[in-house]
Amino acid sequence: MPKKLFAVIVSLVFISLLAPLPTRAGQVVTEDLRNWARDAIAQEKSLGSADLPDNTLAVLYFQNLTGRSELDPWRKGLTVMLITDLAQIKELQVLERVRLQALVEEIGFGASGQVDKASAPRIGRFAGARHLVGGELGQDAAQSLAVDSDLLDVPRESVMDRFGSKGMVEELFRIEKELLFGITDSLGIKLSPEKKAALQKPLSTDYRALLAFFQAIDCSDRGEYAKAAEYYKEALEKDPGLTQAAEALQELADLGLIPRKTGNRWRGKSFLKELRERASFTDSLTPVYPVRRTRNPAEIVERERLINPDFCPDDPLKTAPGACGCGVADTDSDQDGILDCNDSCPADALKTSPGVCGCGVADVDTDGDETLDCLDLCPNDPDKIDPGICGCGVADTEGNISDSDEDGIPNCLDPFPFGE
């Protein structure tokens, strides 16, 4: 890719980054945002380069390299959480998620927003961001998540720093915070103890609520607004304190993308007030509500352990021993109805123990001579278990093994046993 491609930047792009649209950007990519993205891209070849302020930053979507489709919502989810936290730091100017979405769609990456590494600096230029954060969701040998992230210096087209974190899916709250503080440390931002404590508060303490929220965002990006509304409602049912979901749902109604119903309980400020009251001041708390008061990821993990105890704490794939016990999967590889842990021949559907012949070899006696085929060198000859002189199927009788023409070849193997 030509060097000058990464040097192109338009002052208009940077100004538009810092100057918000007339209405606050929510979770819907509006036509105003698409126009903004088109203008930024249109200026790519016409203007020279300009310095980008050190405090500008954009966060790309993460790539899911685990092969586990159930983690796909976290590609945008981790980005949403990071942007939410980074936007609270006054030293930074952070690109809104919907502007990122508008840019990647206009460039041609589609609703998924997955940007290849070669195109990442270009996105940073269009966004007017000096720094760019990207990352990947991987999986280690123990099947736990391994999230890695890079901090890119856009003008220099170089990686400033790499950082990451590992843990179980339920610990993504903690993982996001470790990435967050990795970013601030790399940028040299000094956070006061009070600010750092405030940033420790997660977007939600309910994993399922967050999952529904991120699914809603992805549906909205795809133009599936009715489906997005259902996911937002699901997120709010699981965590009424997830105010971003309520705001996003109200945004869909305000933009006329979903029907506005009389008496709609998802009704902006009055509803948010109701949510706060329900989440914080109810007199009879169910076991769920104290969870929503949790303040940091460590407490969230401890809460999940108490509510949903893990009886296999060292096994990332099991929370209960099951039939095979912790550390051993309850699988039936050969589908013979016997779990591998109880099957001495787990890859042989016809045997559960090696028997005489071993796994993968049937204990059969084809010729009925009471010698199993695996030990019988003549499995189709009931009179012999080894070829002998004449071979399988031919008896080693005196007449057969004699050499009538005295040519050194037994009669049974000699095509002309009595001479030519």
| Per-residue pLDDT tens digits for 345-374 | 988 888 888 888 989 888 889 999 889 889
In a domain, 315, yes or no: no
Structure tokens at 110: 């589609």
Same domain, 167 and 252: no
Distance, CA of 249 to chain centre: 26
Backbone angles phi, psi at 76, to 5 degrees: -85, -30
* Domain termination site, one of 249, 279, 295: 295
- The structure's pTM equals 0.58
Q: Which of 179, 152, 151 is nearest to 165 (CA)?
A: 179
* Cβ-based neighbour number of residue 205 at 10 Å: 25
Same domain, 165 and 264: no
Q: Which of 60, 63, 102 is nearest to 80 (CA)?
A: 60
Q: Which of 182, 188, 130 is nearest to 158 (CA)?
A: 130
pLDDT at 199: 94
Backbone angles phi, psi at 401, to 5 degrees: -90, -10
pLDDT at 129: 85
Q: Which of 149, 222, 221 is nearest to 186 (CA)?
A: 149
Provide the domain limits for residue 42. 3-199
pLDDT at 87: 94
Same domain, 164 and 137: yes
Same domain, 249 and 178: no
Backbone angles phi, psi at 93, to 5 degrees: -110, 110
Same domain, 167 and 259: no
> At 190, which CATH number?
3.40.50.10070
Q: Is residue 184 a contact partner of residue 89, using CB atoms and an 8 Å limit? A: yes
Residues of the chain with pLDDT under 50: 1-24, 47-49, 263, 268, 270, 274-275, 277-294, 307
* Domain termination site, one of 295, 318, 337: 295
- Virtual torsion, Cα 8, 12, 17, 21, nearest 10 deg: -150
Q: Which of 148, 22, 33, 155 is nearest to 96 (CA)?
A: 33
Q: Is residue 103 a contact partner of residue 123, using CB atoms and an 8 Å limit? A: yes
Structure tokens at 17: 């980054």
pLDDT at 10: 33
In a domain, 357, yes or no: no
Structure tokens at 185: 């440390």
Phi-psi group of 378: left, alpha or beta (phi > 0 → left; psi -120 to 50 → alpha; rest → beta): beta
pLDDT at 293: 46
* Domain termination site, one of 177, 199, 221: 199
Structure tokens at 365: 């006696």
In a domain, 179, yes or no: yes
Residue entry with tokens 């685990």: 66
Same domain, 167 and 257: no
Angstrom distance (rounded) from CA 106 to CA 162: 29
In a domain, 106, yes or no: yes
Same domain, 26 and 99: yes
Same domain, 259 and 153: no
pLDDT at 410: 85
In a domain, 277, yes or no: yes
User: Structural domain tally of the chain?
Assistant: 2
The residue length of the chain stands at 420
Label residue 213 exposed, middle or buried (CB < 10 Å: 0-12, 13-18, 19+). Answer: buried
Same domain, 188 and 94: yes
Distance, CA of 279 to chain centre: 30
Same domain, 115 and 245: no
Same domain, 277 and 154: no
In a domain, 409, yes or no: no
Same domain, 219 and 278: yes
Distances (CA, A) of 156 to 51, 92, 124, 125: 11, 19, 12, 11
In a domain, 386, yes or no: no
pLDDT at 356: 86
In a domain, 328, yes or no: no
